[in-house]
Chains A and B, each alone.
Chain A
């Protein structure tokens, strides 16, 4: 079982993830239509690029936009969650050793303490995101089963990963579950709202071009995100 999950299944998951996301990107860009979207993408490339870059960058900075500033709790939760959810899988020592062995390369490695803090941060943030969905009427009315599903899907590798760390007695068992959960996540990213790992950048770039080219970017100082 372990051999299968760390062997063929690993390669399959990575392939589904990468190809799935690539298809998403290509289809999105090909579906852009200057007339329907009413944005002259081609005629004003430079203004478009500038608008897109600002639109992405400002939102990646904690408190970088007015929206982040007026909702500070959500901002902290969002960044704690997302920094962890991106950094831990990529920069954990164990993951890097695995990557080195399977794909022949590895990333920078996080100190163990930092990895622990980030992982617990992810789980705490996830808990708040769930409570928020239940407690706040304006979020409850929007929430569907899919939203809880992707929260659970994201939580699974972290929960199981932490159990591996703190329960050496059943390490082998939990490691199997952890790998399975991680691979399931990778496979489902392109097919769920988690595809926002790429569509976030596409959508933000698009609205940035819209404001950058058409809605004032060539007049004022650029959108005051």
Chain B
């Protein structure tokens, strides 16, 4: 059975394996090997038997094939209403076929299924809101990804990402030391401007345990400093864990459920160890989904909740503004047409629509906030979710998929797009690069820093 040296059914569990995979830039050898990878039909059957239960089976068989989900999917709309982009078709032609053939599928089929699972669906779950039977194709595509991952048919970056979580408990090669050092270094950098600024590491019984996205540590360290500044201004009793600080999960995008469990347990362990009152996660959508919404189930928690109450950054900001912990200087509110990207992962899939609107009411001068259409739970994916942003093989498809969001933004006439989600932020940056519509985009933190009232004791002494 031709298992490749890089492309195979084995997850990446060691640093050496990870380095070997990374050395194959862009996965050239990896994808070449995939062309010869066998399908383990017996394993596929067993997995179906164990994990495909009434909810998914019923969805597959009861689908009325009515096509009411077609228009709900931005891929369908943007690809000239290609019938092959209808959500029901995407799942019936992949998972549906696997079930009907009882796992008897070949290499070519798996290549097609891989492209469908990662380049034709971002698991945004919008179609679930439009199907009269309540069939959630996004959930099924995610399940399909798990099957494909197990068989080794997974985009190179996804295999790398899942491997990162297995090896480092982070989506990038950032160690606990790197994390703590970077955070402390950034805080020092800003200490002159904000006397007394500090980052308490591994403090017991804090009110807030703060968790981040490894990309912030590696590529946007100012984000860490901004978080520290805002917590300090708000007078919060907060801390970061030296271990278990990674909120994200590329393993979820990859369909590597075992790595998902390992990753989320590292965060829950930090909660058990430090006993904070609450966890606040950074401005990331899928990370919130992974650690707060899906994570408890990977970790086998019967109440479906993390060990301590866990909230998204937008919830903390809204609360801090509401309670006056953060005060906005009215002079400095946003006075240009501005809109907000509703991240599927915590708006549609975690009910936080009103929370972000509440924030807008504090930070935007009345009359300048314009909602996209549609918005809230019905908003379209930014175009780069579910891992799509990061997969080189599917870059052309991704760039096309950005058109939905581009047009939605252009219709608002906004010059600033607030994107409190790393994936959405990236997608909006890329769409500006690709299509040059003249917008700026931002997380909440830098905007807040510019307009928040700094208490006397945190002002630099002349």
Contacts and interface: CB of A to CB of B under 8 A. Distances in A.
Interface string A38-50: 1110111000000
A196 B351 contact: no
B132 A59 contact: yes
Given A28-B54, A67-B72, A216 B352 contact: yes
B351 A216 contact: yes
A31 B351 contact: no
A225 B129 contact: yes
B81 A43 contact: no
A202 interface: yes
A199 B62 contact: yes
A196 to B, nearest CB: 5
Contacts of B62: 193, 195-196, 199-200, 203
Contacts of A36: 51, 53, 55
A224 interface: yes
B92 A137 contact: no
A36 B55 CA distance: 9
Nearest to A207: B134
Interface in A21-80: 27-40, 42-44, 55, 59, 65-67, 70-71, 74, 78
A58 to B, nearest CB: 11
A147 interface: yes
B133 A196 contact: yes
Given A36-B53, A208-B134, A215-B293, A202 B58 contact: yes
B375 to A, nearest CB: 10
A43 B133 contact: no
Nearest to B131: A67
Give the interface size bracket for B toward A: 35 or more
Given A142-B89, A221-B354, A224-B376, A40 B129 contact: no
Contacts of B305: 40
Contact of A44 (B294, B304, B348, B376): B304
Interface in B17-76: 51, 53-55, 57-59, 61-68, 70-72, 76
A213 B304 contact: yes
A143 B133 contact: no
A66 B58 contact: no
Contacts of A40: 296-297, 302-305
Interface in A169-200: 193, 195-196, 199-200
B83 interface: yes
A196 B378 CA distance: 26
A200 B63 CA distance: 10
B128 interface: yes
Contacts of B63: 142
Interface string A205-219: 011101001111111
A110 to B, nearest CB: 25
B366 interface: no
A167 interface: no
A127 B129 CA distance: 27
Given A59-B132, A220-B354, A139 B297 contact: no
23 contacts: A28-B58, A31-B54, A31-B57, A32-B53, A34-B297, A38-B304, A43-B303, A43-B304, A55-B134, A66-B378, A74-B66, A142-B63, A193-B64, A199-B58, A202-B58, A203-B59, A206-B55, A214-B293, A219-B352, A220-B350, A220-B351, A220-B352, A224-B378
User: Which 10 pairs, one residue from A and one from B, show the smallest C-beta to C-beta distance?
Assistant: A216-B351, A31-B54, A220-B351, A40-B304, A207-B134, A142-B65, A219-B351, A141-B83, A139-B67, A38-B297
Interface of B: 51, 53-55, 57-59, 61-68, 70-72, 76, 81, 83-84, 86, 88-89, 92, 128-136, 293-294, 296-297, 300, 302-305, 348-354, 374, 376-378
